[in-house]
Structure formats: C-alpha cells, structure tokens
Amino acid sequence: MKSYISSDIAQRMNYEPISKVNLKQSFFGAIETDEVSYKNYVIELSNVDNSYKCKFEVLGQNRICSEIKQIPSGPWLKEFKMHGIKLTDLENSTLKVDKEIKLLIGADVAGKLFTGKIIPLKSNLTVVHTRLGWTVLGKLFGSEPSVESKHSLMISSLLTQTRCISYLWSLDVLGITGSAHRQTARELEEETTKYFNETLCVNAECRYEVALPWVVDNSSLPENRKLAEKSLLSTKRKLMTSGKLEAYGEVFDNWLSLGIIEKIPQGETGRVHYLPHRPVIKEGSTTSIRPVFNASSLALGFPSLNDCLSTGPNLIEIIPTILNRFRRNYVGVTSDIEKAFLQISIRENDRDYLRFLWLRKDDLEQVEEYRHRRVVFGLTCSPYLLAATLQCHLSRVQENLSCTSEILKTAFYVDNCVTSLDSELEMRKFILDPKLSCLLAISIYEDGSLICIV
C-alpha cells in the first residue's frame, strides 16, 4: 500500500527528506509490526526516452527485500521480441543489473501508471503496459529443459536501464523490513520462552523470580499517573457507595504485610508506570473482594503496558487436550493453587513499571504510592509466566516423583489442575501421600511445600 526507496539510493541521489512518517506495517498472516519512523522523500521517475515523467512520495527503507532471480530463457523471449518488448533483467543479458530491489512502487502510485493496454501471451504470461514501460506478470511453467519441472516464477518487470522491479506484486518475497524486528507469531513465542528460561531464577526468599517479557522498548511507555489518579477517584466513590472501602483497603494491607507489594521510598526517581485498578466483588467466594489491575489502559498516542509485553504461547489451545485427558480415566482429580500469581516474584528492574496508587489509611484524602513485587493479575503475560514457572518446577522434581510430574505437566491450565486416575485407590495415594500431595498443589517454592488443595 506504500512506496519505498532504498536508503542508500536516496543518499546517492542526494534526496532530502521532506518529513518523517510514523507507521505500523500489517503483513500477510495478520503479522503487525511496531510503530517505526520513516523518512519521507519526493522522487522523480521517467521512462527510457523521457517522454513521461512523474513525481511521488516514497518512504526510506534500509532494505526492501532479498535478491531475486532474473527472467530465465524460454519461449516467452520470442514473444517479447515479436511484440517489441525489451527487458534488461534477463538471465543471458550482458547488461549488469542489480538484483536487489532499490525502489518498490506501491498501490498508492501503481494504479496511476497503468494505461489499460494488456497482451496475453501463449506462454501463460500477461504483458501489461504502464507509463514507465511494459510490465510482465504471470507464472513460468517448467516446459523447457532450462527450467526445473517444479519451478515456477512470478515476475513483474518494468522497462528500465538501471534497475529491475521484478516480483513487485508477489507477497511471498515482499520482505519489507524496518528497524523493528519482524517476527512471526511462532518465532516470537520461541523467543519469549528462551528469554524466560534465561532470566528465571530463585531469589533470596527461595521464591521463583521472573522478568517481564518486553517486546517493545519500555522507554516509550508513559508514566500514566493522571489516568491512575482519575481511576482511583472513581474507585473510591464506588467503594464508599457500596460500603466496601475498608474491605478493599484491607487487601492491600494484607499484601503489604506479606511482601506482595511495597511502598515507594520517598525521593526515588526514574522511569515509572502506574496501573489503574478497580475492585471485583464476588459475594460468597473465598475471596469476596479483590483488586484487578488494568494494564491495557493507555494515554492518547502512547502504548499501554500490555502493548509492550509478549503474551507468550497461546494457552487456550491446550484446553481441549486437557479436557480429553480428564475424561480418559475413571476418577477425576482437580486442584487449584491459592493466590498463584502472587507466589511468583518479579525482578526488581521491572517493579517500577507496576506502580499503583491507594489511599492513606489515616487520611483518605491523601494518596500513597506502591509497587508490585509479585506477578500481577491483569498483565497479558501473567498466565504464561505462571504456566512456564509451573513447568519448570515440575521438571526439577526428585526422581521418585517423576511419574507424577509427567502427569501434571499435561494437566495444568494456568493455576488449575485437571487430570484423571484409574481408580479411587490410586487417587487416595495420589492425594494422601505427602510427597505427592505437595506436587499436586504445586507450590512455587523450590522445596515443594504445600500451598493448597481444593
């Protein structure tokens, strides 16, 4: 949809950028890049005899795509000659042609260049006339000895003396890359897993500690304090109306005593980010009120915290498999980890991006600043961080628990364990044996101490 020029050509032609454009690219397969700043140039093109000239805007790009093959020999060359079509990017041409694409004319310009003259050739190619010359489109079949039987080549060439624009419309080779790293979803998942394994450790509290999996430079993350203050006022009014303000504050007091959160020392500076939060009330539940943090809140023109984090592999995909295994044996077993996210520590370098505001207990008009020390429920990466930590924990068990560990590795969806056993006797052994029960509940502590069994 856009036109691009190679940055080195723009420099050699002494083009001066007229502006800068911030742009996100969306590619085939729903792959979307990060926002990148491009230099915007105005260039002039002409056909070979200078009978037609045009000016249009292009974006500077370090490299547009990889090298491409020239048009091979075949019966189509005779047809080109018969119709008076001369090309410079033939395999047997004596003219040196740079195989790397230096200019890509996008849909924003190309439509204005077509004249409407189209010639279908017997070789299954189609010749389309443009104001800059002839363009050849189509698939080359392996009917000649010089072409491999399974080889097909999509070509699109403009008549030019200095460069070739072949494969112009082929999405398979349209490898536009910017300064941001372009990745498929699978590659990003693999990189997130690799980063998790490299940064996971056991801290001084004998607790697993993880790092936030950044996919965007966190320097672009705004402070977000004004949004957090606005949300706090709204939350305060709702809690006072429902009579739940004290109960909500007791949750934070409990977290503070357990080391789940901490107050921000006065005078501490640096890059920070504040998370708005609100209460979720479930009467009759073991946890009747709990805070939920909105990591998707964003200021206009800036990314949210969730935008900057990788979600890791898609855990929803494993649910059907887990449910099928649950139905395989006679006795079903389920378990849950109490406050699972809050059992995993966040490394110190990432904690200032998990700040939030709450009211002073002795003066509800004053605000105090806190930050999370554990994984936050509401971050897009939190389910993956918990699931990956559990898998790591299950891989570190003693040899006599390896069989149980293998069962549990395929039984967890985040903090919920769903599996089945052959008999009630096996179930009792599974639950009542202290060594097995601690594994069933899966403590995040490396010593395997029991958290909770439901």
Please, are residues 370 and 358 in contact by the beta-carbon 8 Å criterion? yes
Torsion of CA 180, 184, 189, 192, to 10 degrees: -10
Q: Are residues 190 and 103 in the same domain?
A: no
Mean pLDDT of 282-289: 76
Q: Are residues 133 and 190 in the same domain?
A: no
pLDDT digits (tens, 9 = 90+) for 63-85: 887 666 777 777 778 888 888 88
Q: Are residues 196 and 137 in the same domain?
A: no
Q: Are residues 135 and 194 in the same domain?
A: no
Q: Are residues 81 and 208 in the same domain?
A: no
pLDDT digits (tens, 9 = 90+) for 339-387: 889 999 999 999 999 999 999 988 888 999 999 999 998 899 999 999 9
**Number of structural domains the chain divides into:** 2
Q: Are residues 300 and 215 in the same domain?
A: yes
Residue 262 pLDDT > 80, yes or no? yes
| Radius of gyration, alpha carbons of the chain | 31
419 is a domain residue: yes
Q: Are residues 225 and 128 in the same domain?
A: no
- What is the Cα–Cα distance from 22 to 252, expressed in whole angstroms? 41
Q: Are residues 191 and 128 in the same domain?
A: no
- Whichever domain contains 218, its CATH number is 3.10.10.10
Q: Are residues 215 and 275 in the same domain?
A: yes
- What is the Cα–Cα distance from 344 to 376, expressed in whole angstroms? 9
pTM value > 0.85: no
163 is a domain residue: no
426 is a domain residue: yes
Q: Are residues 232 and 338 in the same domain?
A: yes
- What is the Cα–Cα distance from 69 to 153, expressed in whole angstroms? 9
203 is a domain residue: yes
Q: Are residues 199 and 333 in the same domain?
A: yes
Please, are residues 317 and 227 in contact by the beta-carbon 8 Å criterion? no
Task: Tell me which range, 98-102, 368-372, 432-436, is most confidently predicted by mean pLDDT.
Answer: 368-372
175 is a domain residue: no
Q: Are residues 119 and 235 in the same domain?
A: no
Name every residue whose Cβ is closer than 8 Å to that of residue 198 and which is 6 or more positions away in sequence. none
Residue 87 pLDDT > 80, yes or no? no
- What is the Cα–Cα distance from 313 to 316, expressed in whole angstroms? 9
pLDDT digits (tens, 9 = 90+) for 295-331: 998 887 788 999 899 888 888 878 888 888 888 887 7
Name every residue whose Cβ is closer than 8 Å to that of residue 11 and which is 6 or more positions away in sequence. none
179 is a domain residue: no
178 is a domain residue: no
Domain residue limits at 301: 186-453
Please, are residues 431 and 453 in contact by the beta-carbon 8 Å criterion? yes
165 is a domain residue: no
pLDDT digits (tens, 9 = 90+) for 196-239: 999 999 999 889 999 999 987 777 788 999 999 999 999 999 99
